[in-house]
Each structure stands twice: as structure tokens, then as C-alpha cells.
Structure 1
């Protein structure tokens, strides 16, 4: 009897956690699908792509151009953690360089 009661409590706890996580992910994805960064003051989200262009000329006179594009891709969980942190630690000043 005690094992069945413990099993029911554990199942309730796991299902509550699973549905909470699923609901949070759906809510986060629906609010962040606006196209732009959620937080305009976030300096990392506003950096965009960084391009480097290298041009060299061969012996035969051909020009070879190489374009390398660097993008800072931040995982969604990091953006979510930054958003949660901003609720508890509001900082109205400019972001630090550290």
C-alpha cells in the first residue's frame, strides 16, 4: 500500500514538472517569435554577423575572394536564463564588458 502511494506521488510530481516545462517552452517560443531580439539593451543579441573578406591574386591574374561570416549563436536556454535573471537583478545601466 505504501509503495502504491509513493508511486502515485512520484508520478504526480514528474507529470507536474513535465507539463510545467512544456508550457514554459511553448510560452517562450511564442513570445520570442517576433523576429528581433527580445531585449534591445542586450549587447550580445545586437552584435549581428561579423564578416571578414580576404582577397588575393593568383599568378595567372585570377582574383580569389573569400568571405568568412561569424555569427554568435546563443542557445535558447541561455536567453531564457538571462531573461529570468533580469527579473531578479534589474540593471538600467549599460552592459559591462566582463
Structure 2
């Protein structure tokens, strides 16, 4: 009987700690460094979309211009998972996105 009570208390303690850590990470990712006034002048956060322009010429003399636009938009869950994974790397930076 004592073992069952101890097991229930330990499970409650670990689940409370886990949910607290997860909630803290979610709060920090949303409000901690989320592009406030201190990040407005940071050139890395204000990058526009990456554009690549390709121009090809057809046999009939027409030119075809193709623009490819890449945006660095990630869903919140992906940002959270990258932040969690970055805790396991010793360099302090998140893993490569490629």
C-alpha cells in the first residue's frame, strides 16, 4: 500500500514538473524574445523573403523570367521543437535547417 501511494505522489510530481517546463518554454517562445521593440533594429529578424530570379531564352527569341521566393516562416510547433532540440547541442545554436 505504501508503494502505491509513493508511486502516485512521484507520478504527480514528475507530471507537474514536466508540464511546468513545457509551459515555460511556450511562454518564453511567445513573449520572451518574440520580436518586441528591442528586436526591431536587428537586421537578422527583419530580413525580407529570399528571391532568386532565373531568365531563360526560348528558341523563338522570347525571354522567360522566373522568380522563386523563399520565406522563412515556420509554424509555432516547429519553432518549439527546434528550441527543445537545441538544448541538446553544446554549441548553443539550433541544428541546421537543411
Structure 1 runs, 4 residues or longer, greater than 6 Å off: none
Cα RMSD over matched residues? 3.6
Q: Distance in 2 between matches of 1:63 and 1:29?
A: 46
Deviation at 1:10? Answer: 2.4
Alignment partner, residue 37 of structure 1: 35
TM-score (norm 1): 0.51
Q: How do residues 1-98 of structure 1 correspond to structure 2 at under 5 angstroms?
A: 1-24=1-24, 25=26, 27-28=27-28, 31=31, 37-38=35-36, 40=39, 42-73=42-73, 75-77=78-80, 78=82
Cα shift readout 1:34-53 (whole Å, capped 9, x = no counterpart): xx734515543222321111
Number of residues paired by the alignment?
A: 78
Q: Distance in 2 between matches of 1:43 and 1:3?
A: 57
Relative contact order (C-alpha < 8 Å, sep 6+): which is higher?
1
Q: Distance in 2 between matches of 1:63 and 1:17?
A: 62
Deviation at 1:59? Answer: 0.7
Structure 1, unaligned stretches of length 5 or more? 83-98
The alpha-carbon distance between structure 1 residues 30 and 47, as it changes in their structure 2 partners (threshold 3 A), is: closer
